[in-house]
């Protein structure tokens, strides 16, 4: 049974002054203002295997938005980013960039998609050679970049650096700059995570062009875009062949796989009961507190749409 007492921010439908476009992503509602600014509202929708699941997760949007805000501010010395202000726990407002049509995925460990590929017998991912003898969750000799195409619909696809340049998806000069930014951002993310007793296992970044310059876009180092392990006990768990204790969305993917769903045609999404929804919410909040070192303060859902609308209008009037 669905418990309607579980409040979630599932969607928005605003009309702001000078609004020129609206886009509903998997988890975000994006409003374009004057073709210059983006108002990005992080909903509580959750997706896995590129499918939006039928029930939202309380406070998930707030967790994503506030982690991203903290890390965008903490990396602004490495690369300029799109963020101007975050006037509400679920809202970010920033510059509208022309996005590159790839996502820069960076991996320091053999986990998730890379581990599934490796266990299937392949020793190359996105044109990057992987050494023999690795176990799932082992640290790689050095971080690797395994980009994906950014699909407007359906699944993102793995692609190599060579193919990106050959197909002129990104110029060689820009791609090499994206590589440098990606590795520098990942190094900073690992450094911050380590101080918090975590390992930033892998993550992805999106970049675009604003006024002729490369800018970091969207969210960074959130549980939707990143995987974290607990640092304490990592080596012992690897030596014993045990599963790593992690904070990420991977536990949701694994639950779906165990229940016969991987986003393939003909598969049915398993029922998400209230207990499972609450557990996912608690895991997101736990990650927020671990990775930021701050106590999570739950947003008021009683009139959240009104609060968001007022905060956005007020912020836009100042820009």
**Domain of 242, in residue numbers:** 99-248
Q: Is the pLDDT of residue 231 over 60?
A: yes
Q: Please give the pLDDT value at position 248.
A: 77
Does residue 46 belong to any structural domain of this protein? no
Condensed to tens digits (0 to 9), the pLDDT of residues 71-105 reads: 999 999 999 999 999 999 999 999 999 999 999 99
Query: In whole angstroms, what is the distance from residue 39 CA to residue 308 CA?
Result: 11
- Give the model's confidence band at 2: pLDDT under 50 very low, under 70 low, under 90 confident, else very high: very low
Number of domains observed in the structure of the chain: 1
CATH code, 168: 3.30.470.20
Q: What share of the chain is helix, strand, coil (3-state, %, to 5)?
A: 30, 25, 40
CA-angle at 171, arms to 165 and 175, nearest 5°: 80
Neighbours of 238 (CB within 10 A): 17
pLDDT above 90 as % of the chain: 87
Does residue 262 belong to any structural domain of this protein? no
Condensed to tens digits (0 to 9), the pLDDT of residues 164-182 reads: 999 999 999 999 999 999 9
Query: In whole angstroms, what is the distance from residue 210 CA to residue 227 CA?
Result: 29
- Give the model's confidence band at 69: pLDDT under 50 very low, under 70 low, under 90 confident, else very high: very high
Does residue 10 belong to any structural domain of this protein? no
Q: Is the pLDDT of residue 3 over 50?
A: no
Does residue 154 belong to any structural domain of this protein? yes
Query: In whole angstroms, what is the distance from residue 286 CA to residue 290 CA?
Result: 6
Does residue 319 belong to any structural domain of this protein? no
- Give the model's confidence band at 107: pLDDT under 50 very low, under 70 low, under 90 confident, else very high: very high
Does residue 43 belong to any structural domain of this protein? no
Does residue 202 belong to any structural domain of this protein? yes
Q: Please give the pLDDT value at position 294.
A: 95
Q: Is the pLDDT of residue 41 over 50?
A: yes
- Give the model's confidence band at 249: pLDDT under 50 very low, under 70 low, under 90 confident, else very high: confident
Is-above-0.95 flag for pTM? no
Q: Is 39 helix (H, G, I), strand (E, B) or coil?
A: strand
Average pLDDT taken over every residue of the chain: 93
Q: Is the pLDDT of residue 222 over 60?
A: yes
Does residue 114 belong to any structural domain of this protein? yes
């Amino acid at each position: 049974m669905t418990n309607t007492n579980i409040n979630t921010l599932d969607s928005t439908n605003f009309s702001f002054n000078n609004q020129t476009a609206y886009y509903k992503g998997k988890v975000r509602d994006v409003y374009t203002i004057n073709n210059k600014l983006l108002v990005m509202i992080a909903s509580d929708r959750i997706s896995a295997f590129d499918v939006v699941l039928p029930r939202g997760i309380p406070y998930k949007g707030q967790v994503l938005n506030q982690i991203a805000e903290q890390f965008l501010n903490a990396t602004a010395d490495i690369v300029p980013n799109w963020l101007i202000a975050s006037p509400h726990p679920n809202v970010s407002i920033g510059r509208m960039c022309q996005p590159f049509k790839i996502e820069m995925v960076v991996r320091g460990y053999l986990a998730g998609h890379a581990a599934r590929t490796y266990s299937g017998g392949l020793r190359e991912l996105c044109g990057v050679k992987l050494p023999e003898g690795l176990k799932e969750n082992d640290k790689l000799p050095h971080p690797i970049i395994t980009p994906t195409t950014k699909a407007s619909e359906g699944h993102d696809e793995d692609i190599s650096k060579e193919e990106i340049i050959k197909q002129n998806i990104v110029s060689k000069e820009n791609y090499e700059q994206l590589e440098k930014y990606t590795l520098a951002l990942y190094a900073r993310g690992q450094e911050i995570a380590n101080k918090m007793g975590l390992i930033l296992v892998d993550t992805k970044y999106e970049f675009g062009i604003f006024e002729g310059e490369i800018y970091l876009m969207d969210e960074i180092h959130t549980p939707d875009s990143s995987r974290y392990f607990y640092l304490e006990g990592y080596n012992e768990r690897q030596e014993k062949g045990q599963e790593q204790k992690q904070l990420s969305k991977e536990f949701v993917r694994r639950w779906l796989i165990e229940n016969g769903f991987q986003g393939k045609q003909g598969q049915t999404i398993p029922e998400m009961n209230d207990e499972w929804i609450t557990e996912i919410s608690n895991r997101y909040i736990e990650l927020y507190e671990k990775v930021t070192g701050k106590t999570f303060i739950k947003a008021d859902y009683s009139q959240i749409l009104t609060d968001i609308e007022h905060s956005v209008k007020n912020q836009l009037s100042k820009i």
